[in-house]
Amino acid sequence: MGLAPPYAKSGNDIAVLFGSKVPFILRKGDDASDHCLLIGETHVQGIMDDKVMIFLGEGNVKAEIITLC
């Protein structure tokens, strides 16, 4: 279960940025680059308040470098 801004779309990605307490919704750019548009904060049950770091340690999620635009 989660909450998202009204302009979020199906197919957007959810990311937890290192150092943040909340996840964010990202949308991949229209070009072939790895750029992402930051759509806004979201609430996703189970990954709030650094809980996603447990999943990272278990190998259930991955860390990536992204470029926001």
User: What pLDDT is attached to residue 2?
Assistant: 75
Name the strand (E) or helix (H) holding 32: none
> Is the pLDDT confidence value at 4 over 80?
yes
Which phi-psi region, left, alpha or beta, contains residue 28 (left: φ > 0; alpha: ψ -120 to 50)? beta
| 49 beta partners | none
Where do the domains of the chain lie?
2-68
Which one is predicted more confidently, 67 or 24? Answer: 24
| 44 beta partners | 2
> Is the pLDDT confidence value at 21 over 90?
no
DSSP-based three-state secondary structure for 24: strand
Predicted structure pTM score: 0.75
What mean pLDDT is predicted for residues 20-30?
Answer: 85
DSSP-based three-state secondary structure for 39: strand
